[in-house]
Structure 1
Amino acid sequence: MRFPPGARVRARPLDPDHHIRLPRYVRGQVGEVIEAEGEWPLPDDRARGITPPRVETVYAVRFPAGDLWGEGTHTVTVDLWESYLEEAGR
C-alpha cells in the first residue's frame, strides 16, 4: 500500500488509446484517500489480453463535487487502482 488514508492524491491525466477504468471527470483532480480496498487485477490489462494482469491496490478516493463540476457541496467517492494515482502534495 503506497497511499495511507488521508493522503492527498491526484488522479493522473491519462488518455491512452486503450480501455481504462479511470473516469474522465476525475482525471487531473485532487482527492483524499479514504481507505485501501485490497489488491485486484488491473482491468485495463484484462481488456488488452495481458496475461496475467498486473495486480494493484485499489483505493477509495473522495473528491469534492465542486472541484469536479463547479458546483455542489457533496463529495464523490471513486474506486481507483494505484497506477491511476500520484501524490498531490499540499
Structure 2
Amino acid sequence: MSDDRFAPGARVRTVHHDPTHHTRLPRYARGKRGVVLEPEGRHALADVSSRGRGDAPVEQVYAVRFAARELWGEGDHGVVLDLWESYLEPESALESGAN
C-alpha cells in the first residue's frame, strides 16, 4: 500500500517504553532492531482496545523479523513478530540523531 510508513526491507527499531497498561510489544523486543517483512493489514491498537475503549486508533501492523541474537544475545535463527506501526521507528532516523 502506498500509505504504509514502512516498506518491506525497511530497517526499524522498536520503541523502548514501559507502559503501565497492556501492550502487545513484548518486553524482550523493546528497543531492538529488526527488518520489516510485510504489512499485515490495519487493526485497532490493542494497547487501547484491551482497556475496553472504543476509540482505539487503527494502525498498520507489520511482520518484523529479528535475529534471535538481537533479542536474547544468542541463537542463529530469526523471530518474526507482528507489531503495530506506533511501536516502530526508522532505524536511520535514530542513527542520524533525528529522534
TM-score class, shorter? over 0.9
Q: Deviations over 1:27-83 (max 9, x none)?
A: 000000000001001111112232131100000000000111111110000000000
1:50 equivalent in alignment to 2:18? no
Amino acid at match of 2:66: F
1:80 to 79, 83, 90: 83
- The number of equivalent residue pairs is 90
4+ residue runs of structure 1 moved beyond 4 angstroms? none
Q: Unaligned stretches of 5+ in structure 1?
A: none
- TM-score norm. by structure 2 comes to 0.86
**3-state DSSP of counterpart to 2:79:** strand
What RMSD over aligned residues (CA atoms) do the two structures have, in Å?
Answer: 1.1
Q: Deviations over 1:5-41 (max 9, x none)?
A: 0000001001111111100111000000000001001
2:21 to 18, 22, 26: 18
1:3 equivalent in alignment to 2:6? yes
1:70 equivalent in alignment to 2:73? yes
Q: Unaligned stretches of 5+ in structure 2?
A: none
Taking the aligned partners of 2:50 and 2:77, their CA distance within structure 1 comes to 33
